[in-house]
Amino acid sequence: MDIGTLTNAPRTLTIGGRSYTMRALTFAELGVIQNWLKDNADDPVTEAFRQVDKAEAKGVPVQPGTLSALLTMARQEARQWPPRVFTDAWFDTLADCPGGTEQFLLAMFRQSDPAMTEVQAAAIAKQMDADESVAIVAAAMGIDTPPKDGPPAEGEAAGANAE
């Protein structure tokens, strides 16, 4: 671990042609996102009932044994609701909940632009490429993104100029 990571020093990322200063999210910032999920995303039990209603509305009967198994699994998942931060389930929940991606991006972009709005974050999200998305997630977690060309070849110094 280097001193920049230890001190949560900000880094500059270029997203959509604009520079933003970003650092790892703090527990307080992550707590805001978690509470937003609690208030806006469907917990697993609610989602299970929604799926059952959807199936029945399409004329697909849900057998009692299937319903029981579904609710048992949903209750188990609900014990750890919302999902732990930075897990695949957490990112999936943010992506599946309207406005969730924007909440994550707002936490990151407001570090350098406190006046950033959800509408602006949504517009940036639509324009971001995969590399920019990876860079933001890595910054949020306080880790470096791997170089695009991979690690230096054996015997090649990292950052050395080849002339």
76 or 152, higher pLDDT: 76
20/72 same-domain check: no
Residue 159 pLDDT > 80: no
Residues 51 and 33 in one domain: no
**Domain identity same for 88 and 137:** yes
User: Could you give the percent of the chain with pLDDT greater than 90?
Assistant: 53
φ, ψ at 151 (rounded to 5°): -70, 160
The number of folded domains in the chain is: 2
What's the rounded mean pLDDT across residues 17-22? 90
Q: Note down the domain range covering 119.
A: 14-41+82-143
Chain mean pLDDT for the chain: 86
If you average pLDDT over residues 29-54, what whole number do you get? 92
21 and 52 housed in the same domain:
no
Residues 60 and 139 in one domain: no
Are 106 and 136 in the same domain? yes
Residue 95 lies in a domain: yes
Q: Which of 69-78, 111-120, 146-155 has the lowest mean pLDDT?
A: 146-155
Q: Is residue 158 part of a domain?
A: no
Please indicate, yes or no, whether residues 52 and 124 belong to a single structural domain of this protein. Answer: no
Helix, coil or strand: residue 18: strand
Identify the pLDDT of residue 80.
Answer: 87
138 and 87: one domain? Answer: yes
The pTM of this model reads 0.76
DSSP letters, 96-145, are: HSTTHHHHHHHHHHTTT-TT--HHHHHHHHHH--HHHHHHHHHHHHT-PP
**For residue 152, pLDDT beyond 80:** no
